[in-house]
Amino acid sequence: MPEMTAYYAPETRVMPLTLIRRDRMLPAAGEILVGPGQRVEASDVVARAELGGQFRTFEIARLLRVPPAKAVRYLKKGKDDEVKAGEVIAGRTGLAVRPVRSPVDGVIVDVDERDGRVAIEVASRLFELRAYVKGVVSNVLGRLGVVIETPGALIQAALGMGGESFGVLRSVSESPDEPLRASSFDIRAHGSIVVGGSWITASALEQARQLQLRGMVAGSIEGDSLEAARKMPFPIIVTEGVGRIRMAAPIYELIRAQDGREAAINGETQTRWGIVRPELLIPLPAETRPPLPPAVGAPLTVGARVRVVRGPHVGHVGTVAAIPPRAVRIEIGTRVYGAEVRFSPASTAFVPFANLELLR
Amino acid sequence: MDASSSQIDSIVALDLGTVYTKAVLIARVEGAFRFIARAVSATTAEAPWSDVAVGARHALEKLSSAAGRRLLDERGDLTTPQQPDGSGVDACVVTASAGKPLSVVLAGLAGEWSLESLRHAAMGTYTTLAAEIALSGGSRRAGRSLADDRIQRVYDARPDVVCISGGTDGGAERPVLELVEAAKFAARFLEVAGSRPRILFAGNASLKPRVAEIVGDTADFLQIDNVRPDLDAENIGPLQAELENLYTTHKMGRIAGLATIAAWSAHPIMMPTARAFGHAAQYLSADAKRTKTGVLGVDVGGSTTTVSAAFGGQLYTTLRSDVGTSFAARFVDEIGWEAVARWLDFEVSEGDIQAFVANKELRPGTIPQDTAELRIEQALAREAIRAALRAARRAWPRGAGIPRFPGGDSSVPLFEPIIGAGGILARAPRPGQAVLLMLDAIEPVGVTTLVLDVYGLAAALGAAAVVEPLAAVQALESGGLMNLATVVAPLGALRTRAGEVVMNVKLSYASGGAIEDDIKAGSLSVLPLSPGQKAVMQLRPRAGIDIGRGAGRGGKPIEITGSALGLIVDARGRPLGVSPDPKRRRDQMKSWLWDVGA
């Protein structure tokens, strides 16, 4: 069946210099502490909010032994009033019925007059939102957050664990093929984001915890180490996936070239229903404002830079040399459409479209 | 011309899956509907596209090329109705499973009664279980009262829907009302936090007025027939219908770009893929010829595995919205990596399986290039189907109306045919792989036929039947489904009689000649019967062996038609025995793969 038409591959951004924009959003409306045009460091608190979400309810009527409809008249506090732990919220004076005291600090958020029930939202904790990336506040989004902008390098990874962090990049591998082992880094890496080449070993994770790293970046991580990696107190991102896969050479070279610079790392990963990709951002000085990342949706064409994401050439980067007009039979016996990818002047291979992504 | 007209000559069916968007063209050729062509493209529901119409256009471009028929206009919109020059189509039907499942909290009195019925109802459409609250067996957390704990659990789950059941009609009252109160408070707090869950009450019918009074206008609220009106009766249909309605309007309906696709047709037909797939099974089961058996459909998608069983036109659909061939990491945690590894003919480690499922989730559209990766994907699909079937069996009604294996295990219904769907089956490089996957996962009994929805037509036609019932009938009958194999799967003491001849099979070909085979217990035997051929099958089971006609009885000869593999006699026994010894198990897998030419 002649099915050969344009193919639109998934895309990964690996850009030495682009305009990075990040929305920094509070989980709930709060206070914005910076203004447009203000320069911020990664560690600066740019907004804060009080977070609640824990509740206690009290059946005032039952506790005071009054009909539900009459309970409200014995309330000592009203809706939106703050209460302290031990403070009386309802009581009948002069009678041998114990008053109702709040067991917690909080705010009365609901008074159900029909049921004679009161709800308290437990005192909130203060949430502080940091800038995460060094740059300039380009916009303030009401009471919800800000936008921070900076020229810099942008590397989207495949998988991440942990949240956000920032620190100085420290490349410790001699090549993208070199695994990240405990012996790869020492006390000098304390407080930095360590960058390896190929996969992260279990011993490296333990060493990283002891040295209180700010983050780890490598090509991959073994399946056996995933659980341990998720428990690390800092973010980890891998550029290729799970297994023993070397870091794609252009990514390795890009990060290595920025060794010693401050970077922001985010391990948050969501693979569907609102995709979130882990990333490494390296703010860079730029005399002129660089362009934003290009729009997506370009079909795969000859000359495009692609990365192989599955199969025998996984992790290799090359350029599309040709797009055969017919489906090609692969090892498992299926005929699939794909591209001839040139990895080096002497090395070309057919790769199914499904196992390619555009690297831009 | 529009979709409500009787003059529909061509239909495009688009299926928006989590990973792939499939486009199928069926059209009237010489008076009857035929499958013309299909095309597949990546679904573009997620960033950076965030618009399913982009992927739909990509698929339609390919479909145009495959069918040699212009389908899109210069703006990239589907042309409807069909034009005098042959471009465009008369109708477009859309099925979707790309929407985020409905997040539900189920609250009932007891795990084995009302909550179990709520689970059956919730698994009838695309849902994820955010929390379960059973009044019995609750525990306090963080110094809270039980009532506050319930409220907090609903609040923390931030569900789309809270389903409450409990009490037979006229039965328990106070405990049920406590659940309603908890849901009410949680809904009230959640509204302040920016979400507004719906409350569906499907419990003790006599409480309806009081429940309405408690909830008041706190939340969007609906009362539905009790899912457990008495202890021996389950009535999940009304709740299931409401949940599907909520999924359709609040999840599927909000898929970015779906409105663009809807605008391509004057009367767009849109429905969840699982329902459309179920329609196809239901249609086949309503066929008068199939009154003695049910029809079973299993569809393994990227993120959902669907089981549709239809008995005499009555449909039972069960979904595992948390497991498919692309998204299965949590499922593997649930069943253990060894459950996947046991279907492999080579040695793997836990790390290998973890790496495989993690990478597949990261790049769900990728395909296996080597045999080992293909085998792991197929092993995962076996477990996905088995898990969905376990859930489905619990929801199938007991008693009359379900055709059972006479004299055998009463939990095993008889099905004819069994339809396999989904990329992992349809794209299996060899038909034997699809056959073995279905046999291992479904463990059919008696005499049945395995068919493969190789073009993804079942759901498309299930939806198309809404606008043109004839299209489904004619396209299915004109080779829309691929006949994989006729299966004979006897019951009896097969595992204890391993190696012993337990049955004789004779195939007498219509074209002349015959073959005969002595079937040994524990074996998987293939007798060739090519597509287009016909033969008469005579079965002679030995004492104690039952093919559905009573132990030792072969019954009358049966005429069967050819298929990709022909006749398979699966004498491995039920339940299927997989050796606990890793080395012997791998040899067993090799042997089975060899037997079916996989």
Q: How far is CA B547 from the centre of its chain?
A: 26
CA atoms of B492 and B551, how far apart (whole Å): 8
pLDDT band at residue B141 under the 50/70/90 scheme: low
Structure tokens at A182: 């405990």
Longest Cα pair distance anywhere in chain A, in angstroms?
96
The strand pair at B32-42 and B102-108 is best described as: unpaired
Predicted pLDDT at A62:
87
The nearest CA of chain A is from the CA of B218 a distance in Å of: 11
3-state SS, one letter per residue, for chain A: CCCCCCCCCCEECEEEEEEEEEEEECCCCCEECCCCCCEECCCCEEEEEEECCCEEEEEHHHHHCCCHHHHHHHECCCCCCEECCCCEEECCCCCCCCCEECCCCEEEEEEECCCCEEEEEECCEEEEEECCCCEEEEEEECCCEEEEEEEEEEEECCEEECCEEEEEEEECCCCCCCCECHHHCCHHHCCCEEECCCEECHHHHHHHHHCCCCEEEEEEECHHHHHHHHCCCCCEEEEEEECCCCCCHHHHHHHHHCCCCEEEEECCCECCCCCECCEEEEECCCCCCCCCCCCCCCCCCCCCEEEECCCCCCCCEEEEEECCCCCEECCCCCEECEEEEEEECCEEEEEEHHHEEEEC
User: How far does B365 lie from chain A, in Å, by closest CA?
Assistant: 6
- Confirm if A205 and A228 have CB atoms less than 8 A apart: yes
Q: B354 vs A1: CB contact, 8 Å cut-off? A: no
Contact B354 A272 (CB under 8 A): no
Q: Between B510 and A92, name the one with better pLDDT.
A: B510
Whether residue B497 is predicted with pLDDT greater than 50 in this model: the reply is yes
> Mean pLDDT, 10 residues at a time, over chain A (360 residues)?
68 94 93 97 96 89 88 90 93 80 90 87 90 97 96 97 96 95 94 96 95 97 94 97 95 96 97 93 92 83 95 94 94 94 96 94
Mutate to test the interface with A, among B367, B371, B376, B425 (most CBs of A within 10 A): B367
Assess if CATH 3.40.50.360 describes domain B102-249.
Answer: yes
Q: Give the fold, CATH level 3, of A55-122.
A: OB fold (Dihydrolipoamide Acetyltransferase, E2P) (2.40.50)
SS (H, E, C) B443-486: CCCEEEEEEECCCCHHHHHHHHHHHCHHHHHHHHHHHHCEEEEE
pLDDT of residue B143: 62
Nearest to B354 among A5, A223, A311 (CB): A223
pLDDT at residue A108, rounded to an integer: 92
Residues 26-55 of B with CB under 8 A from A: 37, 39, 41-42, 46-49, 54
Lookup: tokens for B74: 């210069």
What residues of B are in contact with residue A242 (Cβ under 8 Å)? Answer: 354-355, 358-359, 362
Distance separating alpha carbons of residues B244 and B227, to the nearest angstrom: 15
Q: What pLDDT, on the 0 to 100 scale, is given for residue B406? A: 66
Q: Would you call B181 and A115 a contact, using CB atoms and an 8 Å cutoff?
A: yes
Q: Given pLDDT bands bounded at 50, 70 and 90, which one contains residue B399? A: low
Report the SS3 class of residue B253.
helix
- Report yes or no: B14 and B23 within 8 Å, Cβ to Cβ: yes
Per-residue model confidence as pLDDT tens digits over B193-206: 888 899 999 999 99
CB contact under 8 A, A1 and B152: no
The pLDDT-based confidence of B142 (bands split at 50, 70, 90) is low
Interface of B with A in 78-137 (CB under 8 A): 100
Domain ranges of chain A: 15-22+151-283, 55-122, 305-359
Mean pLDDT confidence for B356-371: 96
Amino acid B411: pLDDT: 57
Among the partner-chain residues B156, B362, B369, the one whose CB lies closest to the CB of A332 is B369
Give residue-wise pLDDT tens across range B283-330: 888 764 556 788 999 999 999 999 999 988 889 999 999 999 999 999
B58 at the A interface (CB within 8 A)? yes
ipTM score of complex? 0.90
| pLDDT of residue B2 exceeding 70 | no
Strand locations in B302-350 (E): 305-311, 314-320
**Residue B401 and residue A9: Cα distance in Å, rounded?**
49
The domain defined by A15-22+151-283 folds into: Glucose Oxidase; domain 1 (3.50.30)
CA-closest candidate to residue A238, choices A165, A315, A294: A315
Confidence at residue A236, expressed as pLDDT on a 0 to 100 scale: 98
The torsion angle over the Cα atoms of residues B524, B530, B532 and B533, rounded to 10 degrees, is -80
Q: Domain B276-595, what architecture?
A: 2-Layer Sandwich (3.30)
Give the model's pLDDT for residue A287: 85
Distance of alpha carbon B390 from its chain centroid, rounded?
A: 12
Mind spelling out the 3-state secondary structure of B66-123? HHCCCCECCCCCECCCCCCCCCCCCEEEEEECCCCCEEEEEEECCCCCHHHHHHHHHC
Please, what is the average pLDDT of chain B?
90
The conformational region for residue B272 under phi > 0 = left, psi -120 to 50 = alpha, else beta, is: beta
SS3 B368: coil
Which of A221, A217, A232 shows the shortest CA–CA distance to A168?
A217
**Topology classification of domain B10-99+255-267:** Nucleotidyltransferase; domain 5 (3.30.420)
- Candidates A310, A341, A357: best to mutate against B (most CBs of B within 10 A) is A310
Please give the Cα distance from B458 to B466 (Å, whole number).
13
The C-alpha atoms of residue B7 and residue B11 are separated, in whole angstroms, by: 11
pLDDT for position B282: 86
Average pLDDT of the residues in B522-548: 94
DSSP H or E segment with residue B440: helix B431-442
| A332 → closest Cβ in B54, B66, B371 | B371
- Separation in Å, CA of A188 to nearest CA in chain B: 31
Candidates B24, B362, B371, B430, partner chain A, best to mutate (most A CBs within 10 A): B362
Residues of A (301-330) whose Cβ lies below 8 Å from B = 309-312, 330
- B405 pLDDT more than 80: no
Phi (first) and psi of residue A155, to 5 degrees: -125, 115
Chain B contact for A67 (CB, 8 A cutoff): no
Of B81, B467, B28, the closest CA to residue B265 belongs to: B81
